[in-house]
Chain A
Amino acid sequence: MIVRAILVALIATCSSWWFSHVITRTWLYPIWSGFLVGIVMGQPMEGMMLAAAINLPYVGFITAGGSMPGNAMFAGSVGTALGLVSGLDMNTATTIGVLLGSVAVMIWNIYMSVNSVWVHMADKAAAKGDLKMIRFYNYVPSFFVSLIINGGPAFLIVMKGAVVGDWLAAMPQWIIDGFAMVGGILPALGIGMLLNYLSQTKKLLPFFFLGFFLAQFLGLGTMAITVFGAIIAFILYLFGEDKKDKEVA
């Protein structure tokens, strides 16, 4: 168990300490980082499904300039680990994961603030033209910051997190049901955020309803709807060009 805990701690560390986005860019998202947690915990299938569920409220997740609405990295890695060690179902895991992600915004803020210190040290190295030390300050100190504030909690969750499952099981049924129900509602946050971004040009809003009713009434899956969406977009593109040609002529 201790090896697994260390590996999960490293995944949690690298979800925030982005040593190279060639590798870590997707570690921001629970669907991938949580899947990795599932693999090292020896439960890839359960881990993958919990991670996907935890990812849903974060499908509208956008970070800009280092500020973020919830710590998806922490929710994805630590949330999946907690779900696995305490045997949570998908909805409850989503609720707990999002709660963790909300609290862990603090962890992210600490990380972003503490790292400023290394930049000042790198300034001095730059003034001396010491390129090696610049490289050192870019990569090394922030790793240890992330290891302590992300890896530490992740390690503890894997070692001791099973108690959370016991606490939940000891609660009255209506609280358990309430927690699961929140998990079912939370994806509406991510989906609503996405809708908000994508429908900023108002004329596109009907396509949201088109997708909704295709799924609701015809029972089409997401893949089928993606294909239809691409075809519609292509047709509109062709006719849009056509119109432009005529206007020119």
Chain B
Amino acid sequence: MAEKQLQKSDLVKNWLLGYSSETCYNYERLQALGNANAFIPIIKRLYEPDQYAQEISKYMNFFNTEPSYMGTVIHGITAAMEEKRANDGDITIDEILSVRSALMGPLAGIGDVVSQSIVYPILAGVCIQLALAGNYAGPILFEVIYKVIMLTLGYNMYMMGYKQGKSAIITFLKTGVLNKMLDLVSIVGLMVVGSMAVNNITYNLSLIGWEVQNEIGSVAFNLQETVLDALLPGILPLALVLAVRELLKKRTKPTTIILLMFVLAFITVGLGALCGAY
């Protein structure tokens, strides 16, 4: 029997269809159905129609990882295993499943860090400023750069998985190179976050103030201008950010924090009303 081999086009299809992993996203099995869909080209190439049921069903198991940036490596590894299984049959379904479920957690972790707490916030941080200033480059750069990074990483991770198998990614995870890189990128991220605290939060107490009449004349007192700005301009936004961080560390829900922000705003407005702002 001739050796069954995956074509380059099968691999590219498998990689691209992986981006539909979350089309029918659901709480019960998350990306399972999406994965089954992504492996249709692989199954069709490697197996006979009477084997389809058995071979596709293994992808209907619970599966969840980060599917766009890093998790594609799992599909690459799986595709290589399928090819081997179809040819000499010495790889069992259980082996494929256990490799997939062993890798999905770690790669979800790294992938989420790269995509959601590095690329997205730094890019959004810069692009939001452009957009707020009325520059169309804001959203357009966001879209283009985000997709370029996503597809470049996603493709290379997939091909690395296919060519080098699971040992490559495990060695890579163990070296700690990634953690070092993340630390460095976090430095950029943190500095951007610091500047956003200055540029994007508007909260001041200038509503709270009054005029004092005495024999010298009238003296205007304003909590924001007389006290806080003299102390440190931007002290309130800084305090807000640090307070949010403390609350999150105490596992306060974001919804509760939003509620607290409403309370804070209306107390401020109320104090302003007491000072005769309305």
What is the CA–CA distance of A134 and B150 in the complex, to the nearest angstrom?
26
Stretch from A2-10, A118-126, A153-161, A163-171 at the B interface = A118-126
What is the CA–CA distance of A233 and B181 in the complex, to the nearest angstrom?
9
Bitwise, B240-266 to A at CB < 8 A (1) or not (0) is 111111011100011101100110111
- Judging by beta carbons under 8 Å apart, are B265 and A25 in contact? no
- Judging by beta carbons under 8 Å apart, are B268 and A181 in contact? yes
Which residues of B (132-173) have their CB < 8 Å from a CB of A? 132, 134, 136, 138-139, 142-143, 146-147, 150-151
CB A62 to nearest CB in B, in angstroms, measures 5
Main secondary structure of the interface of B (DSSP, over half): helix
B53 in complex: contacting residue of A20, A98, A127, CB < 8 Å: A127
Chain B, residue nearest A27 (CB):
B143
Number of B interface residues, CB 8 Å? 109
- Judging by beta carbons under 8 Å apart, are A25 and B146 in contact? yes
What is the CA–CA distance of A90 and B202 in the complex, to the nearest angstrom?
12
- Judging by beta carbons under 8 Å apart, are A178 and B265 in contact? yes
- Judging by beta carbons under 8 Å apart, are B26 and A127 in contact? no
B129 proximal to A (CB < 8 A) = yes
Main secondary structure of the interface of A (DSSP, over half): helix
Given A55-B124, A237-B184, decide whether A65 and B193 contact each other with a Cβ distance below 8 A: no
List the A side residues contacting B237 at CB < 8 Å. 188
- Judging by beta carbons under 8 Å apart, are A222 and B125 in contact? yes
B128 in complex: contacting residue of A52, A102, A183, A184, CB < 8 Å: A52
CB B268 to nearest CB in A, in angstroms, measures 6
A192 in complex: contacting residue of B191, B202, B243, B268, CB < 8 Å: B243
- Judging by beta carbons under 8 Å apart, are A236 and B184 in contact? yes
What is the CA–CA distance of A115 and B29 in the complex, to the nearest angstrom?
10
Chain B, residue nearest A142 (CB):
B24
B93 proximal to A (CB < 8 A) = no
List the A side residues contacting B194 at CB < 8 Å. 207-215, 225
CB A37 to nearest CB in B, in angstroms, measures 11
Number of A interface residues, CB 8 Å? 110
CB B77 to nearest CB in A, in angstroms, measures 20
What is the CA–CA distance of A84 and B75 in the complex, to the nearest angstrom?
42
- Judging by beta carbons under 8 Å apart, are B240 and A192 in contact? yes
- Judging by beta carbons under 8 Å apart, are A131 and B143 in contact? no
B16 in complex: contacting residue of A22, A70, A126, CB < 8 Å: A22
Q: B interface vs A, CB < 8 Å?
A: 16, 19-30, 32-34, 36-37, 40, 43-44, 49-54, 56-57, 60, 64, 67-68, 108, 112, 116-117, 120-122, 124-129, 131-132, 134, 136, 138-139, 142-143, 146-147, 150-151, 180, 183-203, 233-234, 237-238, 240-245, 247-249, 253-255, 257-258, 261-262, 264-266, 268-270, 272-273, 278
